[in-house]
Structure 1
Amino acid sequence: MAHPRSRRLRALALPLGLALTASLGFLPNAATAASQDSAPAAAVPASGPLLSYVVNTTPDHATVGKVKKAIAKAGGKVIVAHERIGVIVVHSADPQFAASIRTVPGVQSAGASRTAPLKASGTTDVGKPQKVDLPKSQLKAAAAAAAANGKEPLEPLQWDLPAIKADKAAKVNPGSRNVTVGIIDTGVDDTHPDLKANFSAKQSANCVGGVADTSKGSWRPWDPDEDYHGTHVAGTIAAARNGVGVAGVAPGVKISAIKVSEPKTALFYAESVVCAFVFAADHGVEVTNNSYYVDPWMFNCKDDADQAAIIDAVGRAARYAQGKGVLNVAAAGNSGLDLAAEKLTDTGSPNDSTPVERTISPKTCWDVPTQLPGTVTVSATGVQRAKSYYSNFGLGQIDVAAPGGDSKQVPELPAKNGNILSTMPGGDWAYLAGTSMATPHVAGVAALLKSTHPKSSPQEIQWLLKQQADNPGCPSGDATCTGTKHLNSHYGYGIVNALKAVKS
Structure 2
Amino acid sequence: MAHPRSRRRRAVLAVPVGLALTASLGLLSQGASAAPQAPTATTAAEGPLLSYVVNTTADKTTVDSVKKAIKTAGGKVVTAHQQIGVIVAHSANPEFAAAIRAVPGVQSAGATRTAPLKPVATTEVGKPEKVPAPRTSARSAAKALAAGKEPLEPLQWDLPAIKADKAAKVNPGSKNVTVAVIDTGVDDTHPDLAPNFSAKQSANCVGGVADTSAGAWRPYTEEDYHGTHVAGSIAAARNGVGVAGVAPGAKISGIKVSDPKDGLFYAENVVCAFVFAADKGVEVTNNSYYVDPWMFNCKDDLDQKAILDAVGRAAKYAQRKGAINVASAGNSNFDLAAKSIVDKSSPNDSTPVERTIDPANCLDVPTQLPGVVTVAATGVKSLKSYYSNYGQGQIDVAGPGGDKYQVPELPAKDGRILSTMPDGDYAYLQGTSMAGPHVAGVAALVKSAHPKASPQEIQWLLKQQADNPGCPTAPYDPNGDGTVDATCTGTAHVNSFYGYGIVDALDAVTE
Q: Same fold (TM over 0.5)?
A: yes
1:165 aligned to 163, 166, 172, which one? 163
Q: How does 1:13-52 map to 2 (within 5 A)?
A: 14=18, 45-52=44-51
Distance in 1, matches of 2:456 and 2:11, equals 25
Is 2:482 aligned against 1:485?
no
Alignment counterpart, residue 414 of structure 1, candidates 411, 415, 420: 411
Q: Give the deviation of 1:146 after TM superposition.
A: 0.7
Alignment of 1:73-84 (within 5 A): 73-84=72-83
Deviates more, 1:394-403 or 1:469-478: 469-478
Aligned-pair distance for 1:46?
3.5
Contact 1:179 1:253 in 2 (8 A): yes
- Contact 1:183–1:257, Cα closer than 8 Å, also in 2: yes
Matched to 2:146, the amino acid is A
Contact kept? 1:12, 1:434, Cα under 8 Å? no
Match of 1:127 in 2: 128
- The 3 A distance-change label for structure 1 pair 5 and 262 is closer
| Matched ranges for 1:351-362 at <5 A | 351-362=348-359
Deviation for aligned residue 1:461: 0.2
Q: How does 1:29-428 map to 2 (within 5 A)?
A: 45-119=44-118, 127-131=128-132, 139-224=137-222, 226-428=223-425
Rounded Cα–Cα distance in structure 1 between residues aligned with 2:59 and 2:17 = 44
Tell me the residue number matched to 2:457: 460
Deviates more, 1:401-410 or 1:113-122: 113-122
Secondary structure of the equivalent of 2:423?
coil
Give distance in 2, aligned partners of 1:313 and 1:496: 30
- Work out whether residues 2 and 126 of structure 1, in 8 Å CA contact, stay in contact via their aligned partners in 2: no
* Superposition map of 1:440-479 within 5 A: 440-478=437-475
Amino acid at match of 1:228: Y
Tell me: CA distance 1:383–1:500, structure 2 relative to 1, closer, same or farther (3 Å): same
Q: 1:55 to 1:44 in 2, by over 3 A?
A: farther
Give deviations 1:242-265, integer Å, cap 9, x for gaps.
000000000000000010000031
Q: Is the 1:2–1:8 contact (alpha carbons within 8 Å) kept by the matching residues of 2?
A: no
Residues 162 and 87 of structure 1: CA distance in aligned 2, closer, same or farther (over 3 Å): same
Compute the TM-score of the two structures, normalised by the length of structure 1.
0.91
Check the 8 A contact 2:247/2:441 in 1, yes or no.
yes
The question of whether the paired residues in 2 share the 8 Å contact of 1:56 and 1:109 is answered with yes
1:141 to partner: Cα distance: 4.2
Tell me, in whole angstroms, the C-alpha distance in 1 between the residues paired with 2:19 and 2:141: 22
SS across alignment from 2:46: coil
Change beyond 3 A, Cα 1:297–1:44: farther
Partner in structure 1 of residue 501 of structure 2: 494
Q: CA offset at residue 147 of structure 1?
A: 1.5
Q: Deviations over 1:70-127 (max 9, x none)?
A: 1000000000000110000000011110011101111000000001111278876773
**Counterparts of 1:307 and 1:13, CA distance in 2:** 33
Q: Is the 8 A contact 1:14 1:127 kept in 2?
A: no
Q: What CA deviation, in whole Å up to 9, does each residue of 1:294-336 have, x standing for no partner?
A: 0000000000000000000000000101000010000000000
Paired residues of 1:123 and 1:264 also in contact (CA < 8 A): no
Q: Aligned partners of 1:215 and 1:297: how far apart in 2?
A: 31
Counterpart Cα distance in 1 of 2:423 and 2:341: 40
Q: 1:370 to 1:348 in 2, by over 3 A?
A: same
Aligned-pair CA distance for 1:130:
1.7
Whether the 8 Å contact between 1:469 and 1:495 is mirrored in structure 2 is yes
The equivalent of 1:7 in structure 2 is 11
Deviations 1:181-219 (A, max 9, x none): 000000000000000010000000000000000000000
- Contact 1:382–1:405 (Cα < 8 Å) also in 2: yes
How far apart, in 2, do the equivalents of 1:428 and 1:12 lie? 13
Query: Could you say if the C-alpha distance between residues 82 and 456 of structure 1 is closer, same or farther in structure 2, counting changes exceeding 3 Å?
Result: same
Give the drift of 1:145.
Answer: 2.1
* Per-residue Cα deviation, 1:426-455 (whole angstroms, up to 9, x for no partner): 000000000000000000000000000000
Letter in 1 for 2:195: A
C-alpha distance in 2, partners of 1:106/1:383? 52
Normalised by the length of structure 2, the TM-score is 0.90
- Gap runs ≥5 in structure 2: 21-41, 476-485
Q: 8 Å contact 1:44–1:77 — kept in the other structure? A: no
Aligned to 1:38: none
Unaligned runs of 5+ in 1: 17-42
**Mapped contact 2:45–2:74 kept (Cα < 8 A):** no
Contact 2:12 2:328 in 1 (8 A): no
Counterpart-to-counterpart distance in 2, 1:61 and 1:15: 48
- Structure 2: how far apart are the matches of 1:235 and 1:92? 39
Residue aligned with 1:319, SS = helix
CA distance in 2, matches of 1:467, 1:241: 28
Aligned length: 474
Q: Distance in 1 between matches of 2:15 and 2:171?
A: 37
AA of the residue aligned to 1:160: D
| Amino acid paired to 1:480 | T
Displacement of 1:337: 0.2
Q: Compared with structure 1, are the counterparts of its residues 125 and 496 closer, same or farther at alpha carbon in structure 2 (3 Å cutoff)?
A: farther
Letter in 2 for 1:130: V
Q: CA deviation at 1:15?
A: 7.7
Instruction: Report how far residue 401 of structure 1 moved.
Output: 0.2
Residue type of the partner of 2:64?
G
Aligned to 1:316, the other structure's residue is in SS state: helix
Corresponding letter in the other structure for 2:337: A
Change in 2 beyond 3 A, CA 1:391/1:116? same
**Kept after mapping to 2: 8 A contact 1:142/1:154:** no
RMSD: 1.9
Pick which of 66-75 and 119-128 moved more. 119-128
- Cα 1:467–1:44 change in 2 (3 A) is farther
- Is residue 53–residue 110 contact of structure 2 (8 Å, CA) maintained in 1? yes
Letter in 2 for 1:94: N
